[in-house]
Chain A
Amino acid sequence: MTMNPFDLGPHAGFIIASYVTTFGIVAGLILWVLIDRAKQKSDLADLEAQGIKRSAATSQDPASEETSG
């Protein structure tokens, strides 16, 4: 049985508002993650262009990368 998605009944406004809001928030999350990645990549490239190297990039020692205590 196939339904008609264009006939959402008397409360269509509530249904559409729910999906539009969810889409907006999810799109915002995806954009935030992508913009943040671009910024971090750009910052890393700037620092490497200045000749600053990560200690882990030379030693390959996991403990030399700052993530947690």
Chain B
Amino acid sequence: MAIWDFANPTRFVRLVDRTLPWLVTACVIAFGIGLYKSFFMAPEDYQQGDTVRIMFIHVPAAWLAMMCYSVMALSSLGTLVWKHPLADVSAKAAAPLGAAFTFISLITGSLWGKPMWGTYWVWDARLTSVLVLFIMYLGLMALWRTMEDPIKAGKAAAVLTLVGALNLPIIKFSVDWWNTLHQPASVIRMDGPTIHPDILVPLLVMALAFTLLFFTLHLMAMRNEVMRRRVRAMRLKAAAGPRAASATAAPQPAE
């Protein structure tokens, strides 16, 4: 099935209605297993003690903060290059989710940093670049709200989103390029994860749960956005109704 098969919003909404119960069930099960493993199975870290349990929400939230922006960047390409009818719907629906996950990663990172580093915040490369990502999400959400026409807003937001995508490699490699309090990557590495499986497995299950949560909420928010545009189109049609009728009744100039 090609991606253009979903270009019809009605077909897309039907597909979402069928998919959501399965996604919600999978998400609840994944969170159940993940939280059980995080609190009942994962041992304390030999240096960080129980605060390592913050990692089970901080790291998946940080991954999703970046993945969500990647989804928005791909959607923006879909808007500008392929003009897919649902691309800007996808980008607009993803922005508040990305902002929320970025906020979670910033807050949990601060709460993890205080007992481990002795401070809630430092202006180092990783923390600052993630804060920039959060501000970009807020800026994109504001941009969508400044324009009445969602199609024009979608195109402007797509350009800004693609420019902002430059921040993603900066976030990822900031811990390698600059000196920072934040630890370097310990899961996604060329030489494999450096975390013991007792802690790595709960982390990966929680990452799966967060990813399922993102896709569930994203599809729901996209469905809402499709409905919002239908409401807008119907209101415009209703407002133009009497004028359209009188224009049809009036004699048209010959061309």
Contacts and interface: CB of A to CB of B under 8 A. Distances in A.
Contact of A21 (B87, B88, B107): B107
A56 to B, nearest CB: 7
A1 B231 contact: no
Contacts of B112: 14, 18
Contact of B10 (A28, A34, A65): A65
B145 interface: no
A37 B50 contact: no
Contacts of A40: 224, 227-228, 231
A37 B93 CA distance: 13
Q: Is the interface of B mostly helix, strand, loop or mixed?
A: helix
B32 interface: no
Interface stretch (B39-47, B126-134, B173-181): B39-47
B19 to A, nearest CB: 15
A67 B9 CA distance: 8
Nearest to B103: A25
Contacts of A55: 233, 237
A62 B155 contact: no
A9 B103 CA distance: 26
Given A18-B108, A68-B88, A32 B96 contact: yes
A54 B9 CA distance: 13
Given A37-B220, A69-B83, A18 B54 contact: yes
Nearest to B57: A22
A3 B115 CA distance: 21
B230 A66 contact: yes
Interface residues of B, number: 59
Q: Is the interface of A mostly helix, strand, loop or mixed?
A: helix
Interface string A20-43: 011001101110111011001101
A58 interface: no
Contacts of B217: 29-30, 33
Contact of A41 (B40, B108, B227): B227
Best-surrounded residue of A5, A11, A12, A18 (most CB of chain B within 10 A): A18
Contacts of B51: 9, 11, 14-15
Nearest to A7: B50
Contact of A68 (B10, B61, B83): B83
Best-surrounded residue of A1, A11, A60, A67 (most CB of chain B within 10 A): A67
Interface of B: 7-10, 39-44, 49-51, 53-54, 57-58, 61, 79, 83-89, 96-97, 100, 103-104, 107-108, 111-112, 114-115, 150-151, 154-155, 213, 217, 220-221, 223-224, 226-235, 237-238
Given A22-B107, A40-B227, A67-B89, 6 more contacts: A3-B40, A8-B50, A15-B50, A43-B231, A54-B230, A62-B10
27 contacts: A1-B41, A1-B43, A7-B50, A14-B54, A15-B54, A18-B108, A21-B107, A26-B104, A26-B213, A29-B97, A29-B217, A32-B96, A33-B217, A33-B220, A36-B228, A37-B220, A44-B230, A44-B231, A47-B234, A52-B234, A55-B233, A67-B9, A67-B85, A68-B87, A68-B154, A69-B83, A69-B151
